[in-house]
Amino acid sequence: MSPLKMTISLFICTTCARWSTRPHPSFTVHSFSPATHSLPSARRQSSTSLPSAINGTPLSKKEAGREKRKKFIGMAKAVDRGQYTHTYNPLKEGGLFVAKSGVPRQIEEGKLFTVLGIESSCDDTGAAILRSDGTILGESLASQHSIHQPWGGVVPSLAKSAHEDNIDNVIQTALSNANMKIEEVDAIGVTVGPGLEICLRVGCERAKDLALRYNKPFVGIHHLEAHILMARISPEKYNNTSIPSDKSMSRAMEFPFLALLVSGGHCQIMKAHGIGQYSIIGGTLDDSLGEAFDKTARLLGLPVGGGGGPAIEKLARTGDPTSIALPIPLQKRKDCDFSYAGLKTAVRLASEKLCIERDVESAEQLSENDKANIAASFQHTAFRHLEIRLNRAMVIVSKEDERISTLAVVGGVAANNELRSRLEKLCLDRNDPWKLCVPPPRLCTDQGAMSAWAAVERLLVGSSDSAEGQEVFARYPFVDMDSST
Ligand code: KG4
Ligand code: ZN
């Protein structure tokens, strides 16, 4: 879920979009590190200037503006101020992967190997031991829902302390559940970005220690890639630890495919060409879908610890999705971008109107039936917007590349059953039906198995990082394959 929004005396810096003591109207509580506060002016200049041509074709001012914006869509509240100094690109010069800390020897021998995965990018501490055929051998997840619930959202400093308190126990429990010792694990993967920097650091430092102490290959995981790759695990492997090991390492789907990532921090449609190779087809201009769920839940006074999505989904089941007319966002824009900020405002205005009609002071005081109608109408409109943009993206990519006919839906909001069935219908109702791959709900939200599996995928293509000096990145954009060609 997205971090808590509240008014305190920390403000976003207008130079590098980090947090400082200067005023800004609405912002997220966040740690502020003066050490990372300045950027070379050359970098600032280049990232804010408009591209004048693409492949030699001159661009109009409007087109240039759009091309520039494309680079930054999908990053919630992204402001292009040249702060994205770190991009994720495991492919080095010449399009080759580099195994900086080696790969498990079993890969060369054609045998299976095991990975310890660690995730601490936001509000849950997760660890898992995964076998390289996708079988989860042992897992552990320390939820922070009750810690953040009273605050109405994630408080980074509390999240960091809880990660520190839980990390060792979570790793140990995952190992015990797998009946293994750390020495027996063949590699270690840990989320290094994007996410809350102070939280990422807790998992990353522990993973670095273990990798160096036990001399294991180390992989710094991109959180969004980890969500996406979860959809490649063969469905029979998701829940079953007793099935025999499978050396074929078959996947639910092969590259290239289309991916919809809907989480608390992100809302993007991407073409997935291969490990570390993505191009962005559409992204949010403001809020992510998960954020819209969280804000609507907060408006209605529902539980928001761990995200408001599950509470809205549950309430919406008893409501009438047509009871409140809400405008579908971006109707006039025929592209694949999203916008959820206007919908959030429309929900608030509709609730205020209902409050006046019912003579109550706040949406929290409305009847269960009224709240259910608001939840159902919001969810229906939010998903309709998503269906329209996604359908357009599917039409575009099938024309561009006829090999693409699979849709992966990943991230926390993909746990929503209504969304899953609507997107299944969207895929099947086409003249040329698409295959839909969605991880089971519990593996859509953040947990340790996603870091372990992403590490497996990276190691299998010969890519690993050096634990020594590994940093964490609050922002960590993919290199856009389309704009880099
Ligand atoms: O992927 P995730 O666990 O964390 C991020 O990487 O952001 O996603 C969390 C988001 C939250 O906004 C939460 O409200 C939403 O996923 N979510 C849901 C559901 N379960 C989690 N949204 C709608 N319906 C759900 N069942
Ligand atoms: Zn996530």
What are the tens digits of pLDDT across the range 234-259? Answer: 888 876 656 566 666 789 999 999 99
> For residue 445, which atom of ligand 1 is closest to its CA?
3
Q: What is the DSSP letter of 434?
A: P
Instruction: Take atom 16 of ligand 1 and give the residue whose Cα is closest.
Output: 412
Q: Which residues contact 372 (CB under 8 A, 6 or more apart)?
A: 315, 316, 317, 318, 319, 320
Lowest mean pLDDT among 44-58, 139-153, 401-415: 44-58
- Please check the confidence at residue 66 and state whether its pLDDT lies above 90: no
Ligand 2 centroid to 134 CA: how many Å? 19
* For ion ligand 2, residues whose CB falls within 5 Å: 263, 446
Q: Is residue 320 predicted with pLDDT exceeding 60? A: yes
For residue 30, pLDDT beyond 60: no
Alpha carbons 352 and 362: distance in angstroms, whole number: 7
Task: Say yes or no to pLDDT of 13 above 80.
Answer: no
- Closest Cα to atom 3 of ligand 1: 445
As a whole number, mean pLDDT of residues 123-134 equals: 96
Q: Report the pLDDT value the prediction gives residue 432, as an integer from 0 to 100.
A: 93
pTM: 0.85
The predicted model gives 162-171 an average pLDDT of: 98
> Can you give the pLDDT at residue 127?
98
Torsion sign (Cα): 42, 47, 50, 54? positive
Q: What pLDDT is stored for residue 92 in this prediction?
A: 81
Mean pLDDT, rounded, for 64-68: 65
For the segment 342-362, the average pLDDT, to the nearest whole number, is: 97
pLDDT reported for residue 243 = 59
Alpha-carbon distance of 94 to 73, in angstroms, equals: 28
pLDDT at 219 over 50: yes
Q: What confidence category does residue 62 fall into, taking pLDDT thresholds of 50, 70 and 90?
A: low
The closest residue, in CA terms, to atom 7 on ligand 1 is: 264
What's the fold here for domain 257-439? Nucleotidyltransferase; domain 5 (3.30.420)
- Ligand nearest to the Cα of 443, by number: 1
CATH 3.30.420.40 segments of the chain: 24-35+90-238+445-476, 257-439
CATH fold group of domain 24-35+90-238+445-476: Nucleotidyltransferase; domain 5 (3.30.420)
| Ligand 2 mean position, distance from CA 135 (Å) | 20
Q: For residue 80, name the pLDDT band (cuts at 50, 70, 90).
A: very low
Mean pLDDT of 188-201: 97
Q: What is the mean pLDDT of residues 433-440?
A: 97
pLDDT of 51 > 90? The answer is no
Q: Is the pLDDT of residue 25 over 50?
A: no
Helix (H) or strand (E) holding 326: none
C-alpha of residue 223 to centroid of ligand 2, in Å: 6
Higher pLDDT, 5 or 435: 435
Q: Give the lowest-confidence range in 80-94, 277-291, 423-437.
A: 80-94
Mean per-residue pLDDT over the chain, rounded? 86
b/e burial code for range 247-263 (CB count within 10 A of at least 16 → b): eebeebbeebbbbbbbb
293 lines ligand 1 (CB under 6 A): yes
> 273 — phi, psi (to 5°)?
-90, -30
Residue-level pLDDT at 84: 59
